Amino acid sequence: MLSTPGERITDDDIQLYLAAVSRSQELLKAQFPGIEFHVILWPNQNVPQQRYVYEKLREGFRRAGIPFVLVEDILPGYKENRMPYILGPSDHHPNALADRLLAEYVLSEVMHYR
């Protein structure tokens, strides 16, 4: 998660995050040759400049050649109303429905298991 509570996320924060994800990809591919590395990108609802950060992350993943998918492309209606997919108003972690849909996506679209 890219977050600095009470602070503005800077371009340096974004670059550090992208570097950490890129390095994670390198290490995993070295340890497990032939694996695929994908990112499921969630918008951070608690960051005031969310759209800017989201676009910078998308651009950074594209530039680094890291495959990614937006969570709103997996969870139907998430962009309009995320309540069906979170534990509750004060706990925004994914609930069982979100977990199931995300797992189904990974199985069918990443692992090509049907």
- Please, what sign has the CA dihedral across residues 21, 70, 83, 100? negative
Could you read off the pLDDT of 30-42 as tens digits, one per residue?
999 999 999 999 8
Element (H, E) at 50: helix 50-64
What are the angstrom distances between the C-alpha of 29 and each of 26, 48, 82? Answer: 5, 35, 33
Q: Name the pTM for this structure.
A: 0.82
Could you read off the pLDDT of 40-92 as tens digits, one per residue?
998 876 666 788 888 999 999 999 999 999 999 999 999 899 999 999 998 98
Q: How far apart are CA 94 and CA 11, in angstroms?
A: 27
Domain spans of the chain, in order of start? 1-68, 74-114
In sequence order, the 6+-apart residues with CB closer than 8 A to the CB of 50 are 43, 44
Q: What does the pLDDT read at residue 4?
A: 63
Asked whether the beta carbons of 60 and 14 are under 8 A apart, the reply is yes
